[in-house]
Structure 1
Amino acid sequence: MAHHDDGTHTRGESLPWKINVRDHAGRTQSSTFRNAKSLAKEILATLEGQEPFGPRPWQMHHGGSLWVFSQGEWRLFLNTVGIEWSAQFCADPAKVDQLRLNARALYEAFPESVPQMKRMGYTTARKQLDTPITDAATVGVWVDSIFNSCVPLPPEFHTAVLPKGGGRHHYPGPITDIDHVKFDDFELWVTDRETDTRVAVLPVSPRGSGDGRVTLTYAPVGHPLAEKKLAAAEDDQRLVFPPDSDLARQAFYHQ
């Protein structure tokens, strides 16, 4: 699924997959989303060198963005879940309203945030936080608001397919999140050369321990390594590779 700067998604990619999706009217970018992106870009301009997920270019991910202003600076929190634009059409308003209440509770703890948003030209923040979500229209506003739609992800972390990047549109969040906390000289994504497939591995011991083994943490469903990982898990074991294995050598290549 390709994501364009105007907020549209194109269903088509190099990974083989099929899905039956009922056609719907062509998507146009809402004024709510345009205003949210404008605010997010202004916020990011104040965070040069400290952007939450890295420097530009960014694609605004509908991931539950909760931008908080406190003590003169902005920080990004994430709601319990985010809602993709296309997911709004199956979203239960009562459940979405719980996300609104969750966000409102956070902003009550950081009272400088909404006034600062207003000063920066985003004048609908208070109304969006205070308006109960009861129908498709109010769900749509929430989905495209600053309180959901503006997690600034570089393309390689958003929509990219390996080897260009491990985008969260394609790979499990618990795996893609590791990219943002790992040491720069550790290679999370390595290649199983027997199948020419990218898989994810992790060290089994702390840095500096001298233990060069790695454990498989992700392989595509149906891949031989994924099957071995499942078999090991049934015995309450991890699938571990020795230091001289090709996967371990790739993972620690820069160390």
Structure 2
Amino acid sequence: MARAGTVAATRMPDTVRPGGTESETHPWKIRLVEHPKRFDSPSFKAAKRTAHKILDALDDGDLPYGPRPGGSEHWEMHHGGSLWVMTERGWRMYRARVGIEWSMQFCAAPPRIDRLRQDAATLVAAFPLTLPALAELGYEEAEELLRTPIRDADGVEAWTDSLFNACVPMSRGHHQGILPKVPGEHHYPWPVKGADFFRFDDFELWVTLPDGTHGAVTPVDRRGSGDGHVRLVHAAEGSRAADALAEAQDRGLMAVMPPNSSAALQAFAGQIEPGRRTAAGALVTRGARANGARPRAR
């Protein structure tokens, strides 16, 4: 990703006109206080132990959000709605409609959390190998969690820190990172962040915009089309790009940047020849660069 100081200025497409800015006249304050001491509950410790056993048994290609952390890094368990089941092909993780962050339990209505429990119970029932496999791993509380209605704060707390919510395994970056390093799920919208786990390796989702802020872009057509335009799908609040993006959405339009924009050149840098001034045209794969093969049309 290019540094802010090296990004050339570009103009927005004619179809997207940046709007004005707004500010509040009422003063406001946020009081900074010490965070209540947080500790891993026995429920969370048991869930994490089980999740690590599952992850150790999985091949790298079956990890939900790989690759496996190496060196001094380790898995962080995200309270993101982890629904682990044992299939005939091994362990798989699905995700609940919503996950319950630890602090969110204090505003959680028990009947609504109970619906998540019912959803999880329905899923696990479709994979009858799951409960015996969890018991074999030492997570014997699974069956009771799934069959016990959630009616109060104690029930919400138990579900929040259970294997069926609290164990989405992610690296620290993917979990809580901030750009210009790895963007984490805690800080960036999941419909955009999620693409990090299925995009082509040679497409850069996150780019530096001309004002030094960061945004996310997507291609506007299929791989192989030759179209180097990019669509802006996320921008930092308060930035010029965010104003343009909001106006485009209000008008039912797309905020699109041209192939010679800095954003497009960053996004397609892995697919074009070094030094090329436009992202439009032929696709150059890494293999083609290495062996001198003729590039194919993008």
TM-score, scaled to structure 2: 0.77
Q: What aligned pairs does 1:144-155 form with structure 2 within 5 A after superposition?
A: 144-155=161-172
For 1:44, the aligned partner's letter is L
The equivalent of 2:16 in structure 1 is none
Q: Which consecutive residues of structure 2, in runs of 5 or more, have no partner in the other structure?
A: 1-28, 272-298
Question: For residues 84 and 31 of structure 2, what CA distance do their matches in structure 1 show?
Answer: 35
The equivalent of 2:208 in structure 1 is 191
2:209 matches 1:227: no
Shift of 1:196: 1.1
- Alignment partner for residue 39 of structure 1, among 50, 55, 64? 50
Shift of 1:20: 5.2
Question: For residues 74 and 106 of structure 1, what CA distance do their matches in structure 2 show?
Answer: 13
2:48 matches 1:48: no
The equivalent of 1:201 in structure 2 is 217
2:96 matches 1:79: yes
Shift of 1:179: 0.6
Q: Which consecutive residues of structure 1, in runs of 5 or more, have no partner in the other structure?
A: 1-17
For 2:56, the aligned partner's letter is A
Q: What aligned pairs does 1:35-184 form with structure 2 within 5 A after superposition?
A: 35-50=46-61, 51-54=63-66, 55-56=68-69, 57-184=74-201
- Alignment partner for residue 240 of structure 1, among 247, 256, 270? 256
Larger Rg: 2
Identity score, percent: 46
Q: Which has the higher contact order (CA 8 A, sep 6+)?
A: 2
Shift of 1:24: 6.3
Shift of 1:28: 1.5
Question: For residues 45 and 139 of structure 1, what CA distance do their matches in structure 2 show?
Answer: 29
The equivalent of 1:26 in structure 2 is 37
Provide the secondary structure at the position in 2 that maps to 1:66: strand
Q: 1:131–1:251: structure 2 CA closer, same or farther, 3 Å change rule?
A: same
Report which stretch shifted further, 121-130 or 229-238.
229-238
Between the two proteins, the alignment pairs up a number of residues equal to: 237
Provide the secondary structure at the position in 2 that maps to 1:175: helix
Question: For residues 35 and 260 of structure 2, what CA distance do their matches in structure 1 show?
Answer: 53
Shift of 1:233: 2.3
